[in-house]
A and B are shown apart, each in its own frame.
Chain A
Amino acid sequence: MARTFKKRHGAPYVIIEGCIECNICVRVCPYDAIFMSDDFEIVVDGAKCPGCHRCYDPCPVDAIVPMDDPRAAKIRDSNRPFVLENWPELLATQAK
């Protein structure tokens, strides 16, 4: 069973251009929020990602960033369908 998060820590993460599909982020994610698609591209499911940051440091090519990071503008097309549009509102709710 994957762990489900109770509190959002920050913006959900996304995969940007430059990912080499090394799979490390998939293995370190405690929430099963990161997976490899059938097209061999790693994507982050925004609905499952609480922004815990654990995937950030292990990435050898800095290709996984929070959505509020300017680099997120380079999001890969394969990750776009999994972007959680209302995360700021959810984060504000959680903060209360």
Chain B
Amino acid sequence: MKKFMTSDELARDDRFTRTPVPLDFLMAEEVTVEQVEETMNMLLSNNEMREMMEEQGGASGNLFKRVRPTDDEAPLFIKTQMHGIFMGEMQALEAAGRSAWDFTDDKELPWAFQLDMARQCWDETRHVEIYSALLDHVDARIGQFPENLFLFEFGCSNDPAERVVGVNRCLEGLALDVFNDTIRFGKQAEDETIWRSVDYVSADEVTHVRFGSVWSRALTENDPKRRKKVLDFQRKVDRAFSLGGLRGSYDGANVEGFLPLAVEFRKLAGFSDADIAEVAGAAPKIVKA
């Protein structure tokens, strides 16, 4: 079986439509609100995709607003949210599966590494099934919205230490954020099926993040050069996963950010001078044009 697959080699049937990974946008130091919208339009430049989204009632209407169950956009929001998480779980399953297989020739890696990755695959498989059922629950269907493979694309490095950081820390960390938001929505909507299911899945994500922390530390022990390289990789992936600053962006341009970071507040975006604070400032700054 082939090792080290690229994101465009991932198997999907004809229910799925893909959007291109907006690499420049995701790696930008600073983006404007207009650029965010332009990027969304770029993603929708594909006719099939545009029609698909128009049919759903728009693609970016929820970007700058925190949707509540009583809002008109709520039904569409929860459908896109569930579909996005479903696709994220698929990619996490594929990424964990690759981690279990890609490094089998690496003598440095103990058997316990493969076991942990296999355990994650088992969890992710359950998550895919749970979110598939939740899609039914919110009256959505698999493939109803386009998929973007940036999670797999950025998370999967060919270095095992970087891989566990990208997939287990950054990707699964993003999942924890998104799940918190979904649990909040479910509780507000008094939809026990949603919030209990997502809470159940959340507990597994904690374990996956811990795998990332344990293995990234173990694989770079006594090797400061490699550890720094891995930390740099984490900053890069965290920046990409901040979705151009939309994820937990905090300034006035985006007071009602569409993906709040687990709590209702907004952080001043930006970076401090110290290298270490650069980790904290992984999200690019959103500025008003």
Binding site for B on A (CB under 8 A): 1-3, 20-24, 26-30, 32, 34-40, 54, 57-58, 60-61
Contact = CB atoms under 8 A, between A and B. Distances in A.
Interface in B234-289: 234, 238, 248, 250, 261-263, 265-268, 270, 272, 276-277, 279-283
Interface stretch (B77-85, B92-100, B105-113, B223-231): B223-231
B261 A24 contact: yes
A1 B268 contact: yes
B217 A40 contact: yes
Given A3-B268, A26-B280, A58 B231 contact: no
B177 A24 contact: yes
A45 to B, nearest CB: 9
B182 interface: no
Which bucket holds chain B's interface residue count? 35 or more
A32 B272 contact: yes
Contacts of A35: 276-277, 279-280
B277 A32 contact: yes
B148 interface: no
Contact of B210 (A3, A20, A40, A57): A20
A28 B202 contact: no
B121 interface: no
A2 B270 contact: yes
A75 B180 CA distance: 26
A45 B142 CA distance: 45
A38 to B, nearest CB: 7
B263 to A, nearest CB: 5
Contacts of A23: 169-170, 173, 238
B7 interface: no
Contacts of B228: 38
A27 B263 contact: no
A34 B276 CA distance: 10
Contacts of A60: 176, 202, 205-206, 209
Most A CB contacts (10 A, CB to CB) among B170, B205, B281 go to B281
A44 to B, nearest CB: 11
Contacts of A24: 173, 176-177, 261-262
A40 B228 CA distance: 10
A42 to B, nearest CB: 9
Contacts of A27: 177, 248, 261, 267, 280, 282-283
B39 interface: no
Given A22-B209, A27-B267, A38-B224, 9 more contacts: A2-B270, A2-B280, A20-B206, A20-B213, A24-B261, A27-B282, A30-B267, A35-B279, A39-B227
